[in-house]
Every structure is written in structure tokens, then in C-alpha cells.
Amino acid sequence: MIAKHPHICPNCDLEYKSEYKFCPHCGQENLEQSMKFRHFMKDYFSIRFNLNSKGLLTFKYLLLKPTFLTQEFIKGRQTKYIPPIRLYLFISFFYFFVFAFSFPNSDDIVIDGEQTEINTSNDIPKDSTIYFDDGDLLIESPEIDKTDSSLNKFELYILKKSDLLKTENGVKHFLENLRKYYSTGMFFLLPFVALILSLIFYKKKYYLENLLFVLHLQSAIFLIGTFFNFIELYYKANFLTYFQVVLFFTLTFLWIRKFYKLSFGKTLWKVSLYYILHSILFAIYLILLLLLSLILI
């Protein structure tokens, strides 16, 4: 019979029997010490989300019975599921990670309808219009008299910053700022979305209940959006975008109707009002995001 050699804990140097699963002194798990990627991923998910129980149950209800999750947290049944903020952060990380691959960079810029390499020379027309290569407008930069006395200091400052968009370095930093602050801004937008729902459904739910609902709704949208973004990395088709928009509108309609227990007619006009207010809020957010990204060039 071959004798088992004692094991020495690499963390605290205590010698103990090799059949022990954990160190009796420090509690470190008795595993082979060559760190493998699967061990890293197992530890990451088990520590943060406990995918053996909480994670799988949470994702199941998020996709199949979304409003049920929110109702469970409202009733105080929280230990069985991933907390809403942690769930949102986890899903949004993967959503924006995949989204970043399709985000334009300085090599995708088109000037006056032709793909051109942006540089710092003065051969770019003053009255040019900068586009992404898919035709979407980025910014217009007509020549403006910066000595005009009607312009205040802030307007002059923005105009000077706008001039940097005529350079490769300026465009690069502008797009980097957009990528950097877009995901963070979306998170801080959620309390305002919950406020919109509180104003529309002030007789139905309290603000914190609406905030829980928004976290779960946005998490589900990001989860589905990640799937579509991943497909569009390899297969681009306009019908996928249209289908995704229709799907999100439909899901939002069904979620709101179920959560607030409304008739079809009331849900329709309240969801319409919600999208109008949400569009205004999102437009303000985009303006602030573009402005911040420009200022921080």
C-alpha cells in the first residue's frame, strides 16, 4: 500500500493530511496549484453569483417570468436570487463588452462621403461634414467666426474643442470617451427612468418598487441585446435590427401590463406616454454624453 504524503498549505505553510479538502488553519481549498482558466472562471462565477443555485434560478425567472423576480424582492424573498444591481452590472458588462466590437473607431470616419484617413494637416475642408462609414452623422464642423462678440466663453470653448475633431487624435479621444462613459451613464439613467414610471403609475407602486422593476427590465433587455449583438458581429442584416426593436417594445408592453395589472387599452396609452418621456430623457442624456466626451478630449 502506498502511503499518502502530507500536504503543505501554500498559503500558511501548515502541514496536514492530503485527503483534507481544506486547510485546518487558514481554510484554503486543497487544489492543484497550477491555476487553470476553468478554475478562475469557476471561482469568479461561484463567488459572485453562485451559479449552481442563485444564478440559474435568477436567469430562469428573468427570461421566463420577469415580473415574478421583482415581486419576490418586493415581498422580501431575496436570498434565493442575485441582487438586482449586481445582476444588472453583470449582464451590462457582457452587453457593452460585445457592443464595443461594433462601436466605430477613428479608422471608420468618412469625410464628405469618402472614407478618409483623418490627420492633423490643413488639407481637410473647413466646411466638411464628418460621417461614420455606415452613413450616420457624427458631427458637422462649418467654419464659424470665433471673434464674434455674441458668443460667450463656454460657446467659444466648445468651438475650440470641436476643432479637435478635425484631427485623428481628437476623433480617437472623442470616440474613446463615448465608449468609456456610455455604459456608466446608462446605469445612472435608471433612477430617472424609475421616476418616469413613478409619475405615470403613481397610484400603483412606490418609487423603490419601480426602480426594482426597471433594473430587472433593463437587465433582460441587455441580456437579449447581447445575443443579438453577438450575432451581428458575424451576420449583419437590417431585419435583425428591426426585429430587435419590435421585440423590445413588445416585451416592455407585456412587462408593464403584467407588473402594474392593467387592461390592454390602459397599458397601450401609458406605455406610449412612457416611451415619449423616456425618449426625451434619453435625448438629454445623449446630448450630455456627447458634450462630456467633447470637453474631455
DSSP label at residue 137: E
CA distances from 7 to 2, 14, 20, 221 (A): 15, 8, 9, 49
| 24 and 145, same domain (yes or no) | no
| 202 and 287, same domain (yes or no) | yes
| 118 and 206, same domain (yes or no) | yes
DSSP label at residue 140: E
Domain count, the chain: 2
- What is the rounded distance in angstroms from the CA atom of residue 209 to the CA atom of residue 259? 10
| 253 and 120, same domain (yes or no) | yes
CA distances from 91 to 95, 194, 223 (A): 6, 19, 6
| 42 and 144, same domain (yes or no) | no
- Helices 207-234 and 66-74: crossing angle in degrees, nearest 10, is 150
Position 174 in a domain: yes
| 278 and 131, same domain (yes or no) | yes
Which parts of the chain have pLDDT scores under 50?
1-3, 34, 47, 49, 110-142
Position 57 in a domain: no
DSSP count for the chain of H helices, then E strands = 9, 6
- What is the rounded distance in angstroms from the CA atom of residue 249 to the CA atom of residue 272? 10
Nearest to 181, CA basis, from 291, 265, 101: 291
| 27 and 124, same domain (yes or no) | no
| 36 and 142, same domain (yes or no) | no
Amino acid, res. 282 = F
- Tell me the torsion sign for CA atoms 231, 232, 237, 243: positive
Position 137 in a domain: yes
Phi and psi (nearest 5°) for 41?
-65, -40
Position 66 in a domain: no
| 30 and 162, same domain (yes or no) | no
| 191 and 263, same domain (yes or no) | yes
Q: Residue holding cell 473607431?
A: 105
- Quick check: pTM over 0.85? no
Domain limits for position 29? 7-46
CA distances from 65 to 60, 94, 128 (A): 8, 22, 51
Residue 8 contacts residue 17 (beta carbons within 8 Å): no
Position 102 in a domain: yes
Q: Note the pLDDT of residue 3.
A: 42
Position 59 in a domain: no
| 123 and 233, same domain (yes or no) | yes
Residues 204/208/209/214 CA torsion (nearest 10 deg): 110
| 111 and 216, same domain (yes or no) | yes
